Homo-oligomer: A and B are copies of this chain.
Amino acid sequence: MRASRPKSSRSPRKPRLDAARVFYALGDPTRRAIVERLGNGPVSVSGLATPLEITVTAVAQHLRVLEDSGLVRTAKTGRVRTCHIETTGFSVLEQWIGDQRSLWERRFDRLGALLSEPDENA
């Protein structure tokens, strides 16, 4: 008798969607290499480990971080876990950058207004 769903044993990691996690995740060169590799298409855990010259265990640990930050999604079918890029982490990143940008721009606007209408708040 076999189980109805031969799926992943580990409960699927749910990303928490905050910029801190994403920056932490991408702060590590190995994890960045993983992300860049996955840009060319899905790869298995050992498929990632080999070119990086680290153990599969190490890769699995990195994948955990990458999943938690919403940069990578993995799914296990049979005995092989396949890793894909996930877009949400990138969106969070862009969001953060956008927030910063608008902050400076707001400042510039205030400065500009102050300079063009100097007697407004005299």
Interface positions of A (Cβ within 8 A of B) = 19-20, 23-24, 26-29, 32, 35-36, 39-41, 85, 87, 90, 93-94, 97, 100-101, 103-104, 107
Q: Are A100 and B39 in contact (CB under 8 A)?
A: yes
Question: With a CB–CB cut-off of 8 A, which chain B residues contact A85?
Answer: 100, 104
Q: Report A106 CB to chain B, min CB distance, Å.
A: 9
Bound CA–CA A104/B94 (angstroms)? 16
The verdict on A97 contacting B90 (CB below 8 Å), with A23-B23, A23-B27, A24-B27 known, is yes
- Chain B residues near A104: list those with CB within 8 A: 39, 85, 87
A83 CB, nearest partner CB in chain B, Å: 14
